[in-house]
Amino acid sequence: MNYAGAKPAAATSVGVGDADLTVVGGGGHVGIPLVLAFAEAGFRVNVHDLNRGVLETLQSGRLPFIELGGEALLAKALGQQRLVFTTSPAEISRRGPVIITIGTPTDEFFNPVRKVVQDCIDALLPHLLDGQLLVLRSTVFPGTTEWLHDYLRRRGRDLKVAFCPERVVQGQGIKELKETPQIVSGITPAAEAEAAKLFSAIAPELVVVAPREAEFAKLFNNAYRYIEFAAANQFYQIAKSAGVDYRRVYDAMKRNYPRARSVPSPGLAAGPCLVKDTMQLAAFAQNQFSLGNAAMLVNEGLVLHLCDDLRRRYDLSRMTVGLLGMAFKADIDDTRASLSYKFKKALAGLVESVLTTDPFVTTDPDLLPLDDVIGRSDLLILCAPHSLYRELDFGGKPVLDVWGFLRKANVIS
Ligand SMILES: NC(=O)c1ccc[n+]([C@@H]2O[C@H](COP(=O)([O-])OP(=O)(O)OC[C@H]3O[C@@H](n4cnc5c(N)ncnc54)[C@H](O)[C@@H]3O)[C@@H](O)[C@H]2O)c1
């Protein structure tokens, strides 16, 4: 079914046959900024997603999640009839490139699940034409692009396969797509050239490499970031176990010292990408990615370390503890793989009650208003450093702030 044709909305007069390109997973966190960037560049985009609800939200002019600057671009794209919405593979556009931005999870053993990509391709393939450009943009296990090319060949199909990874920060994709060099790779020179031409319409700079190099570059980018967070979290733990205030150490390390500029603050390193991609790399390296595995132990272990520390300092069993910020990071509404929920679970067995709040998250019925949580809690924990918490004083109640973020709170660290 062609969604655009189903409702008398702005895009009704544009059919899927008019689309210049298709974004598969176009209603997702990577898909939406990409769709809007191409629409802004003048393309008519087929926004293809299995999630009908997300497409309806977009079609009504709203974003399903926070994406800075997204609503204005969406309104413009709808007004200019640049978007078509489809949910069925049979409606995929046979005209123009197809870009895959679906989720690529790891399984319970932290191994990549290639079947997700394979199932998606199997569903689309009967509706694609030979010679069409097929771009993988999801983060993939090294070798997936070559595998896809061979897979298509074995089925007697001849599409141009490319891998052009997404590297923007979630929630700020629209801004970052304009500023971030785009890594481009293709299995054949023709695929590479066509992908480069496509992305030159929205990216400020292209970095053209081989598919395997592009796959590693994306995974190394994320694993490096995850290891940086782990280093910061371990420094914090070492200083704390020595009875030293890490905030003061952190300031001494960084102030006007260029080589420490990039040292991040300690904090909950969570979300759907960093740990998953580090573990994909570990799986690729036969679980011999010692730095990556160590980073996971440190980052995932921070919550338990903090619980242990609080248990030594307070009689938690009589306390109500409030968690501030349930999103996986600051100023977004996404709770996927948020360590705030690990905190909630770990504390549940230790304290009288746990209360949670978040100004952005809309998907958790247990959340309470901020004032309620502050008023009813004996102790607060800053889980996600949302900007609006920065200047609050929390009524003098103790707040555990690993991040070193709060200005006016009665901070314990
Ligand atoms: N979220 C980020 O900031 C970010 C940044 C860089 C890279 N990535 C990578 O991008 C990929 C997508 O991540 P995301 O956060 O956008 O995921 P997401 O879950 O937000 O979006 C994926 C979308 O794909 C749709 N979908 C799934 N299977 C489909 C299919 N077969 N056909 C059509 N639609 C389908 C889903 O309904 C969903 O809307 C992952 O590989 C991720 O690792 C994510």
Measured from the Cα of 171, ligand 1's closest atom is 3
β-strands 133-136, 21-24: how paired? unpaired
Across 274-279, average pLDDT: 96
C-alpha 367/C-alpha 135 separation (Å) is 39
> How many A from CA of 231 to the centre of ligand 1?
28
Signed CA dihedral, 104, 95, 73, 11: sign only: negative
> How many A from CA of 137 to the centre of ligand 1?
9
Say if CB 293 and CB 120 are below 8 A apart: no
C-alpha 347/C-alpha 59 separation (Å) is 41
| Predicted pLDDT at 158 | 97
Q: Which residues are paired to 356 by β-bridges?
A: 323
Residues 6+ apart with CB under 8 A from 241: none
Signed CA dihedral, 184, 159, 174, 275: sign only: negative
Residue 310 backbone phi and psi in degrees, to 5: -65, -35
C-alpha 195/C-alpha 186 separation (Å) is 7
C-alpha 70/C-alpha 64 separation (Å) is 10
Smallest CA separation from ligand 1 atom 18, residue: 28
Residues 69-80: pLDDT tens digits?
999 999 999 999
> How many A from CA of 51 to the centre of ligand 1?
11
Residues 6+ apart with CB under 8 A from 348: 354
pLDDT band at 1 (very low <50, low <70, confident <90, very high): very low
Smallest CA separation from ligand 1 atom 44, residue: 30
> How many A from CA of 102 to the centre of ligand 1?
4
- The model carries a pTM of 0.95
> How many A from CA of 294 to the centre of ligand 1?
27
257 by DSSP, 3-state: which?
coil
| Predicted pLDDT at 13 | 59
Helix (H) or strand (E) holding 208: strand 206-208
Residue 163 has pLDDT above 90, yes or no: yes
Look at residues 333, 328, 316, 335 and name the one whose alpha carbon lies nearest to residue 377.
316
Smallest CA separation from ligand 1 atom 14, residue: 29
Smallest CA separation from ligand 1 atom 7, residue: 166
Residues near ligand 1 (Cβ within 6 A): 24-25, 27-31, 48-51, 54, 101-104, 120, 138-139, 166, 170, 272-273
Phi-psi region of 335 (alpha: psi -120 to 50; beta: other; left: phi over 0): alpha
Measured from the Cα of 173, ligand 1's closest atom is 3
Across 227-247, average pLDDT: 96
C-alpha 299/C-alpha 51 separation (Å) is 32
Residue 130 has pLDDT above 90, yes or no: yes
Residues 379-408: pLDDT tens digits?
999 999 999 999 998 999 999 999 999 998
Smallest CA separation from ligand 1 atom 36, residue: 25
pLDDT band at 3 (very low <50, low <70, confident <90, very high): very low
Smallest CA separation from ligand 1 atom 28, residue: 102
> How many A from CA of 4 to the centre of ligand 1?
22
Across 113-119, average pLDDT: 96
> How many A from CA of 187 to the centre of ligand 1?
23
Residue 342 has pLDDT above 80, yes or no: yes
Residues 11-67: pLDDT tens digits?
445 788 889 999 999 999 999 999 999 999 999 999 999 999 999 999 999 999 999
pLDDT band at 4 (very low <50, low <70, confident <90, very high): very low
Look at residues 394, 403, 396, 400 and name the one whose alpha carbon lies nearest to residue 413.
400
Residue 354 has pLDDT above 80, yes or no: yes
Smallest CA separation from ligand 1 atom 31, residue: 120
